[in-house]
Structure 1
């Protein structure tokens, strides 16, 4: 704290820190630690990191992010083995578009591909 000698009321003021004045950027830990202490969801942590100019953190569980998940389903067409993948628009500026997620089911073997084509032919 410093006392201002400019006026007779002696109101204390504090000198702004470089990060508060915009002359310095926060370090990655300065963004991550408050998010950890507030138990923010992973999505909000990523947004904070992006706004601070950092890439989003990896998955905290330590497991690799999976791009596709294999499934085993039983249907009237037999046993199906599709994989599913989800597409999201993470860099969208429009909020409704950023919430949009598209899920695709793709066959992982010829039998599943044939069964899906047969189901599509019946649907037409």
Structure 2
């Protein structure tokens, strides 16, 4: 209980509203467009196993949408986040002989998506 003067204004109670849920989307694309859009289920985190599962889905999407690309070779550009550089992921990439473009560690000025969208600047 709070003591206050009888002429003090009544304290307003604000309702707490939940914020909108966050969504984690991973997008894989090439010069022809989006190959795979992967939405992480709410409450899950990306780890190496989940990322390898996403790469499995990407491989199937490439097989369906870009016939022949898997034979010619896939070149992937991702950052150095832990799931991307984990041993499990590296083994997956070696098994399928996917080439990884080098990415400087913790580089704030070289985001993989920035290279793609640079041509959209006016």
State the TM-score, normalized to the length of structure 2: 0.25
Higher share in strand: 1
Larger RCO: 1 or 2 (CA < 8 Å, sep 6+): 2
State the TM-score, normalized to the length of structure 1: 0.25
**If you compute each CA radius of gyration, which structure gives the higher value, 1 or 2?**
1
